[in-house]
Structure 1
């Protein structure tokens, strides 16, 4: 059995107004993963104390970064409920913040923060799945607070992905903005653990208009398109993470993730087993691609608006 480690409150809730250098930003990326995947959070299973503690940490980071709260909520939390396979009602909470862009059209950038908790007295910390996605989301949020995007960006840390994509489904059922204004979902789920430097970008099979933007100029990372053809069966990832809820509404998506590894859904999915260099490169590539998608989709909308006027 793992011993529960105590992280000082000052570390969990620390805030700084000092502008971070690139090195500091990379350090923060790894720090966020390490903290969220520590034993303190008890595997972050939806409806548990560990999940509540994880929310408090993510909210503290949202505040530190300076994310705005959506007008329809009093804070960052979006509560929802669902019944598990035993018929028990479970309370979940998504965390939502936004950066206003030049357009009211929206891109939702998402990552789920929950994991599978404690099983047989072992803590399943979910460092790659999906503390990594949340850390990358926080990195992107910090960037776009300093670099105004074209679209308005909603940053969504979804709950209850492991329980059947419940948080994302609740979001699209009761969206905080008009659903037709959401032009894209960029979802990150498992982006820190790959020994070959390969990051998959899923979604261009159904939405080929996104393909020209999905590449990285960096030689440090391999962006591979795929895992999105229905003919692939279980290797089709279209319905295997939170982007599925957006796809069901015909909202285009790009899902970034790695192929399953030896630590997937095991107690060994810990911070010490991620690939820090790969993760840093992957998060930089996701940022690069998100900026390109933001720009290209905005230009397309401007062109279409001019055509309608003429």
Structure 2
């Protein structure tokens, strides 16, 4: 790993010294992920030395590709904040240096095509360090490399930056690697409040968060298709490779939400959660690199299709999260958010939870909980809301073609 990292830095040094006018694009998606998800960066927690190394790497990649600086200091836009002690309080960015103050760094590059409007392409590059809040790891501290979350999104962003040089020139392009996403979309939120371009001239925003685990059935979730009238048709008509699961809402747990809240149309791409989510096991060898290339090509085709459409109108969407019922118990499983069949398919399980204690397995499809029929994710959450800690119920799951009954205690 150390030799790979050293060789990548040599690529940058030679590129910076080159007198060639054209940028030298020699770094692959896999090489970008390998560096960003290496142990040397210690999980890229916001404000850490590892995150600063990642920021430097991305800035040098931007320079090598030939992007203009569009931060407040070169490619960088820093912001300081004090972590929230109450999950409902707003983050205060206007804090003085001192105890408990953290400084995050957005990395921002620009392709200026002298166009009227600008497309923003973003991905967060921070992660959970040695196991910050949000980690699902139980045990001793360990590096959370975040290969899928979200070195994958940054690598695809860099690949798109190379593709879009001197292509589809009816828009400018702003490429942003966000900090502070894991702590509450802080970097994207800060940029929207402190933009380095005129946000009224932003055409639309594309966000990539966890795009590294494309499955064998090629299911790809695309959120935000309802945020402009043309987006759903565009997403569908340019697809020949994926089983698309399209979601209307522009609100979700990633950085596109910050831009949607500023009345900017958004698209967010996601290949699904998995058992390694927010764990040290989210590592490079588990990624589907060919799938990531295909996703990059797909996004490029969407941008190409929209190149002559002018500025897209914004449309407000229904916030699907407003309908989510509150529940105090769970099975202890990771749902398959890309499953669109009948029931709720389980994409992963955790040990010593109600599900595993009852013999429920990964791949099972929950069809019934007590008296509640489970038809989709929403009905599953509504069913959970009817139970309290200590309650017991029968759960029926579909395993292959067989219905299996399990006794679950929450």
TM bucket, shorter chain? 0.7 to 0.9
Structure having the higher helix fraction is 1
Counterpart position of 2:108: 96
Counterpart position of 1:65: 65
> 1:93/1:13 Cα in 2 relative to 1: closer, same or farther (>3 Å)?
farther
Length-normalised TM-score, structure 1: 0.84
Counterpart position of 1:234: none
> How far has the Cα of 1:217 moved from its partner?
4.5
**Which range is displaced more, 201-210 or 76-85?**
201-210
Counterpart position of 2:117: 105
What are the Cα deviations for residues 223-265 of structure 1, in whole angstroms up to 9, with x where unaligned?
3312x45xxxxxxx72310011111111110111122111111
Aligned match of 2:154 in 110, 134, 140?
134
> How far has the Cα of 1:214 moved from its partner?
1.3
Q: Would the aligned equivalents of 2:238 and 2:302 in 1 still touch at CA under 8 Å?
A: no
> 1:295/1:203 Cα in 2 relative to 1: closer, same or farther (>3 Å)?
same
> How far has the Cα of 1:207 moved from its partner?
2.7
Task: Say whether residues 1:262 and 2:275 are aligned partners.
Answer: yes
Counterpart position of 1:37: 37
Q: Would the aligned equivalents of 2:212 and 2:291 in 1 still touch at CA under 8 Å?
A: yes
Task: Say whether residues 1:291 and 2:299 are aligned partners.
Answer: no
SS in 2 for 1:150: coil
What is the CA–CA distance in structure 2 between the aligned matches of 1:216 and 1:192, rounded to whole Å?
A: 23
What are the Cα deviations for residues 110-156 of structure 1, in whole angstroms up to 9, with x where unaligned?
00010111123211111111001101111111111242521111101
Name which structure has the greater RCO, CA cutoff 8 Å, separation 6+.
1
The number of aligned residues is 285
What is the CA–CA distance in structure 1 between the aligned matches of 2:310 and 2:210, rounded to whole Å?
A: 26
> 1:14/1:216 Cα in 2 relative to 1: closer, same or farther (>3 Å)?
farther
Length-normalised TM-score, structure 2: 0.64
> 1:147/1:13 Cα in 2 relative to 1: closer, same or farther (>3 Å)?
farther
SS in 1 for 2:105: strand
Task: Say whether residues 1:278 and 2:323 are aligned partners.
Answer: no
Q: Would the aligned equivalents of 1:46 and 1:160 in 2 still touch at CA under 8 Å?
A: yes
> How far has the Cα of 1:46 moved from its partner?
0.4
Q: How does 1:109-124 map to 2 (within 5 A)?
A: 109-119=121-131, 120-124=140-144
What is the CA–CA distance in structure 2 between the aligned matches of 1:68 and 1:180, rounded to whole Å?
A: 20
What is the CA–CA distance in structure 2 between the aligned matches of 1:247 and 1:60, rounded to whole Å?
A: 29
Counterpart position of 2:219: 198
Aligned match of 1:207 in 228, 232, 249?
228
What is the CA–CA distance in structure 2 between the aligned matches of 1:20 and 1:60, rounded to whole Å?
A: 12
> 1:137/1:112 Cα in 2 relative to 1: closer, same or farther (>3 Å)?
same
CA RMSD in angstroms, aligned pairs only: 2.5
SS in 2 for 1:223: strand
Counterpart position of 1:79: 78
**Which range is displaced more, 264-273 or 191-200?**
191-200
What is the CA–CA distance in structure 2 between the aligned matches of 1:244 and 1:178, rounded to whole Å?
A: 18
Q: Would the aligned equivalents of 1:187 and 1:254 in 2 still touch at CA under 8 Å?
A: yes
What is the CA–CA distance in structure 2 between the aligned matches of 1:259 and 1:238, rounded to whole Å?
A: 17
Q: Would the aligned equivalents of 2:23 and 2:64 in 1 still touch at CA under 8 Å?
A: no
What is the CA–CA distance in structure 2 between the aligned matches of 1:57 and 1:135, rounded to whole Å?
A: 12
Aligned match of 1:176 in 196, 204, 215?
196
Counterpart position of 2:259: 246
> How far has the Cα of 1:216 moved from its partner?
6.0
Counterpart position of 2:347: none
**Structure having the higher Rg:** 2
Q: Would the aligned equivalents of 2:168 and 2:304 in 1 still touch at CA under 8 Å?
A: no
Q: Would the aligned equivalents of 1:213 and 1:289 in 2 still touch at CA under 8 Å?
A: yes
What is the CA–CA distance in structure 2 between the aligned matches of 1:187 and 1:279, rounded to whole Å?
A: 14
Q: Would the aligned equivalents of 2:105 and 2:187 in 1 still touch at CA under 8 Å?
A: yes
> How far has the Cα of 1:102 moved from its partner?
4.4
What is the CA–CA distance in structure 2 between the aligned matches of 1:217 and 1:153, rounded to whole Å?
A: 20
